[in-house]
Structure 1
Amino acid sequence: MAKARVAVLISGAGTNMAALLYAAKAADCPYDLVLVGSNNPDAPGLAIAEAEGVATWSLSHKGLNREAFDTLVDEQLRKSGVEFVALAGYMRILSDDFVARWAGRMLNIHPSLLPKYTGLNTHDQAIDAGDAFGGCSVHIVTPGVDEGPVLAQTPVAIVAGDTADTLAERVRFAEHQLYPRTLAAFVARERSPDYLLDRVRDLAMALPEADEVSSHGMPCFGIVKGKKFAYFTQDHHGDGKTALLVKISGAEEQAMLIELDADRYYRPAYFGDGWVGIRLDLGDTDWDAIGEWLRKSWLAIAPKKLAGLMGIADEF
C-alpha cells in the first residue's frame, strides 16, 4: 500500500519536523515526508530536511497579506502531491480559506494539555496556575486557534523549581514521541477498512428509510424492504480494493468515469454496467463527493413518493 504524502510547515529549528522525518524512515511507517515548507527562509529546520533529501520551499511572508501568502503555500503543497499537512512550530495564524482547503487533513502539535492554555506562553500559564502537569497535544486544525479536536496528549509532570524553560525542554521530548505516532495513526485510518466503512455507514444511513444488511459477503445499504443503492467492498474476489459501489446510468457513464480517473473508478466484477466502483483506500477521499454519490444512487432506486419527499426537503 502506498504511503501517505505529508508536508511539514515550520518557522524555526524544526525539531518536531525532524522527529517526523526520522520516524518516516522506518519501513512500516505509513507516511513519507515529501515537502518541508517555511515562511522563514533562514529557518534552521530547512537545512535538516535538505540534508536528508527532502524537498524544501520557503518564502518570507513579509509584504504579503495572509490570504495571498497562504495561496502560495497551498500551490506548493498541491504541486508536491501532498495529502496531509503537519504544522510543527509554524508561527503563522492561517487564513480560514487555507484551513478549509485542508479541512480534516492538517494537524498541529501544541505545548499544553488542550483545551487548557491555547496560544502562547503555555508553560508559564501551567506553572502559575499550580498545575501538577504540563504537556503536549496533537489536534486537527480548525479555524479557531488550537481549538480543533484533540487526537492524542502526553502529560509531563511539573516539578519543584520548574521554569518555563526547564518544563519546555521536557515537553519537547514528549512532543517528539507523540507527534510521529499520532500522525502515523491518523494517516493510516484513511486507508483502514473499519474507518472507511464507518464513514460510508454514517452517510448512507442518514438517507431516508435506509437500512444496512449483508449481501454477497459485503455490507450493503438499501431502502427498507426495497432495493439496494450501495455496497461496501473490501478485497472482493481478491481484487485488493476497498471501495464503494453505487448505481449509475449505464455503460456510457461508467466508461466516462473510468477514463476520467482510472485509479479511482472501476467496473465492479459481477455488477454489470449499472454500477461503478469508487476506491476509498487511496488516502484522499472527498467525503462530500461520496455523500453526493450515495444520494444520487439512493434516488435511482427510491420510490417516486419517497424521492419526492427528499426533493421537498432539499428546497428547505
Structure 2
Amino acid sequence: MTKAKVAVLISGRGSNMAALLYAAKAPDCPYEIVLVAANDPLAPGLTLAAAEGIAIFGHSHKGHKRAEFDQIIHAQLQKAGAHYVALAGYMRLLSPEFVGAWENRMLNIHPSLLPKYKGLDTHQRAIDAGDTHAGCSVHIVTAELDDGPVLGQTPVVILPGDTPDTLASRILIAEHQLYARTLADFVTRERQPDWLLNRVREAALALPQADETLSHGMPCFGIVKGKKFAYVSRDHHGDGIIGLLVKTTAPEEQAMLIDRDPARYYRPSYFGNDWVGIRLDIDDTDWDQITDRLRASWRQVAPKKLLGLMDVAEEF
C-alpha cells in the first residue's frame, strides 16, 4: 500500500499531531507523517516529533507578512513531498494564496460542533449557551475561518459544573480519536467507489442533455433518449478495476493510449476498440483530463444540432 504523505502544522505542544503520528505507526494506516512544522521554533511538539524520527521545521512568523511567511512554510511542505496538510493547533490565519495552493488537501480540527462557535473560546461559549453537548469537528480548510465542509464530528456531553478547562480536557480525548480516523478516511477517499462515481457523475451530467441509467450492470451516461458515452466499471466481470469507459475518437487511439500508459489505460472487455478504459483506482487521477475525455466521448454520440449548441456555448 502506497501511503499518503502528510505534513502537520502546529504552534505549541502538538497533542493532536502526536495522535496522528502514533496512529501512523500502525501498519495498515494509509498515511505517514513526513514533516512537522511550526511557526515557533521552540514549540514543544517539534521536540517530540524529532525524537520520533520525523523531519521538523520551525520558523518564527514574527517580522513576516502573512503571505510571505506562508510561502516559507509552503516551500517546506513541497520539499518534504507532502500530499496533504493537517493543521493541529496551528494558531495562524492563512493567506488566500496558501489555502488555494492546498485546496481540498488541507484539514483542520476545531473544538466545537461546527457550524457552532467558530473561532476562539468555544468551550465557554457552549457552556454559556446552555448546550447539552459540545464537541469537535474535522473540516476541509477554505478561505473562510472554520467554514469548510465538515468531514466528521464527535459530540461530548457537558456535565453540571463543567468549566472550560474540564470540558476541554474531555474534548481533547475525542479530538485525538476523531482526527486520526477522519484523516485516514480522507486520504483514501479517491480509491472509494462511491466517491469516484460521484466525481464522474458530476462531470458527465454537466454535459448538455446527459442522463444516467444502469446498463450491463454498470452506471452509464448518455444523451437523453440517445446513445451512451460513458460507463463506470466497478469490478465488472471480476476484473478488480474501478474504471471509466469512454469512446475513442479514432480506432487507433485505444492502442496508442494503452501503449503510452498501460498502468492507467486498458481495453475494456466486450466493448471493442472504439472504447477505452481509464483506471480511476490508482494514484494521481487527472480530473481535468477525465472531464475532457467525457466531453470528447459525448461529442462522439451527440446529435449535430446539440453539437452546434455546445460549440456556441463554449465560445462564450
Normalised-by-shorter TM-score class: 0.7 to 0.9
Given residue 293 of structure 1, which amino acid in structure 2 is its aligned partner?
A: R
Q: How has the CA–CA distance of structure 1 residues 313 and 281 changed in structure 2, closer, same or farther, with 3 Å as cutoff?
A: same
Contact 1:248–1:254, Cα closer than 8 Å, also in 2: no
Whether the 8 Å contact between 1:83 and 1:284 is mirrored in structure 2 is no
Whole-Å Cα distance in 1 between the matches of residues 262 and 14 of structure 2? 38
Supply the AA of the counterpart residue of 1:246: V
C-alpha deviation, 1:19, in angstroms: 0.7
* Aligned length in residues: 314
The CA deviation at 1:176 is: 0.8
Which aligned pairs between 1:9-48 and structure 2 lie closer than 5 A?
9-48=9-48
Query: Cα distance 1:72–1:238, how it changes in 2: closer, same or farther (>3 A)?
Result: farther
Q: Deviations over 1:212-258 (max 9, x none)?
A: 34455433322234333222223456554322233444446974796
> Which residue matches 1:219?
219
TM-score (norm 1): 0.87
Deviation at 1:109, TM superposition (A): 0.5
Distance in 1 between residues matched to 2:187 and 2:175, nearest whole Å: 18
Alignment of 1:160-171 (within 5 A): 160-171=160-171
SS of 1:93's equivalent in the other structure is coil
Deviations 1:48-101 (A, max 9, x none): 222222222333223332223223333333333322221111111111122222
Q: Provide the residue aligned with 1:155 in structure 2.
A: 155
> Which residue in 2 is equivalent to 1:8?
8
What displacement does 1:192 show? 0.5
- Secondary structure in structure 1 of the residue aligned to 2:310: helix
- Kindly indicate whether residue 186 of structure 2 is the aligned counterpart of residue 186 of structure 1: yes
Find out whether 1:55 has 2:55 as its counterpart: yes
The residue number in structure 2 matching 1:93 is: 93
Pairwise CA RMSD: 2.6
Deviations 1:170-222 (A, max 9, x none): 11111111111111222222210122112212221222222334455433322
Q: Match of 1:125? A: 125
Corresponding position of 2:74? 74
Question: Once structures 1 and 2 are overlaid, which stretch shifts more, 153-162 or 142-151?
Answer: 153-162
State whether structure 2 residue 162 is matched by structure 1 residue 198.
Answer: no
- Cα gap change, 1:120/1:211 in structure 2, threshold over 3 Å: closer, same or farther? same
After superposition, give the CA deviation of every residue in 1:279-303 in whole Å (9 maximum; x if it has no partner).
Answer: 3223544444433332232123322
From the superposition, tell whether residues 70 and 2 of structure 1 become closer, same or farther in structure 2 (CA, over 3 Å): same
Deviations 1:31-50 (A, max 9, x none): 22222222222222122222
SS at match of 2:103: coil
Q: Which has the higher mean CA deviation after the structures are superposed, 265-274 or 113-122?
A: 265-274
Q: Is the 2:249–2:297 contact (alpha carbons within 8 Å) kept by the matching residues of 1? A: no
Offset, 1:22: 1.2
Q: Distance in 1 between matches of 2:145 and 2:275?
A: 43
Runs of at least 5 residues in structure 1 that lack an aligned partner in the other structure: none
Larger deviation, residues 29-38 vs 191-200: 29-38
Cα contact 1:245–1:268 (8 A) shared by 2: no
Structure 2 distance, partners of 1:174, 1:269, is 46
For 1:111 and 1:188, locate their aligned partners in 2 and report how far apart those are by CA, in whole Å: 24
Measure the CA separation in 1 of the matches of 2:147 and 2:26. 31
Who is 1:293 aligned against? 293
Partner of 1:65: 65
Which residue is equivalent to 1:230?
Answer: 230
Q: Distance in 1 between matches of 2:243 and 2:157?
A: 45
Q: 1:115 and 1:227, CA in 2 relative to 1: closer, same or farther beyond 3 A? A: same
Q: Secondary structure at the match of 1:108?
A: strand
CA contact (8 A) 1:267 1:273 kept: no
Q: Partners in 1 of 2:57 and 2:191 — Cα distance?
A: 28
2:312 is equivalent to residue 312 of structure 1? yes
> 2 CA distance for matches of 1:67 and 1:182?
28
Report the secondary structure of 1:190's partner residue.
Answer: helix
Aligned residues of 1:229 and 1:298 also touching (Cα < 8 A): yes
Structure 1 pair 309–221 and aligned structure 2 pair: CA distance change class (3 A): same
For 2:219, give the aligned amino acid: P
Unaligned runs of 5+ in 2: none
1:127 Cα deviation from its structure 2 partner? 2.2
